[in-house]
């Protein structure tokens, strides 16, 4: 679960807020669209904060001892991580909805395209959260089995194989989200939406 490029999207959206007036032209909905993008930035900031917490919490879980007390700590920590991932998903949904509302307004076609590209990147980011949820659920099952004394070498190997596969899937999905985000940033630059 490597954190890559999460913060730059917030920077790109901040630029979008700053230059939305220029991109929107003189439409009567410029101020409303600008307000929606500002609100989307708030959701994205919250997402980034939760994503950082999830990474830090997963690191802490790895460092917890593999004994009865450690398994109990891991179980509690993993439940909190699931809650934070659910919060990430909520913030992505809020941000995407706000960007979609801004995109539907009377703004320039180029800025509508840019907002669509941002929405796409956040749809891909949401897929990362879905995979993270599955990974944490699987890890929780493994920890619970270990705590109950029912984790065998065979089941441990099965969990490890599954977790390794999920980690690779998360890395791939994260890469796709980053590519989509980079595409939005490049479009913003190519269309001179900030000038």
Structural domain contains residue 136: yes
Residue pair 117/190 in contact by the 8 Å Cβ criterion? no
Q: What pLDDT score was predicted for residue 59?
A: 95
Structural domain contains residue 117: yes
Q: What pLDDT score was predicted for residue 195?
A: 64
Collapsing DSSP to helix, strand or coil, 192 comes out as coil
Structural domain contains residue 79: yes
Q: What pLDDT score was predicted for residue 111?
A: 86
pLDDT in tens, the chain (195 residues): 333 334 444 444 444 443 444 444 545 676 788 789 889 989 989 999 999 999 999 999 999 999 999 999 999 999 999 999 999 999 999 999 999 999 999 988 888 999 999 999 999 999 999 999 999 999 999 999 999 999 999 999 999 999 999 999 999 999 999 999 999 999 989 998 766
Structural domain contains residue 88: yes
Structural domain contains residue 1: no
What CATH number should be reported for the domain holding residue 52?
A: 1.20.120
Q: Environment class of residue 161 by beta-carbon count within 10 Å: exposed (0-12), middle (13-18) or buried (19+)?
A: exposed
Nearest to 74 by CA among 87, 60, 90: 60
| Number of domains within the chain | 1
Domain that holds residue 87: 6-190
Structural domain contains residue 195: no
| pTM of the full structure | 0.83
Structural domain contains residue 39: yes
Cα separation of 40 and 170, whole Å? 24
């Amino acid at each position: 679960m490597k954190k890559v490029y999460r913060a730059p999207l917030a920077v790109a959206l901040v630029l979008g807020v700053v230059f939305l007036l220029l991109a929107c032209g003189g439409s009567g909905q410029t101020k409303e669209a600008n307000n929606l993008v500002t609100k989307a930035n708030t959701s994205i900031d919250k997402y980034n904060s939760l994503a950082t917490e999830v990474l830090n919490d997963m690191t802490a879980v790895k460092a917890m001892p593999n004994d009865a007390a450690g398994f109990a700590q891991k179980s509690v920590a993993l439940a909190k991580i699931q809650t934070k991932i659910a919060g990430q998903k909520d913030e992505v949904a809020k941000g995407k909805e706000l960007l979609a509302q801004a995109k539907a307004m009377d703004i320039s076609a180029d800025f509508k395209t840019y907002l669509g590209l941002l929405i796409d990147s956040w749809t891909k980011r949401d897929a990362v959260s879905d995979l993270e949820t599955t990974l944490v659920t699987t890890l929780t099952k493994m920890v619970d089995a270990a705590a109950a004394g029912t984790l065998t070498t065979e089941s441990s190997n099965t969990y490890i194989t599954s977790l390794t596969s999920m980690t690779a899937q998360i890395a791939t999905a994260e890469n796709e989200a980053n590519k989509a985000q980079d595409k939005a940033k490049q479009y913003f630059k190519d269309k001179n939406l900030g000038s």
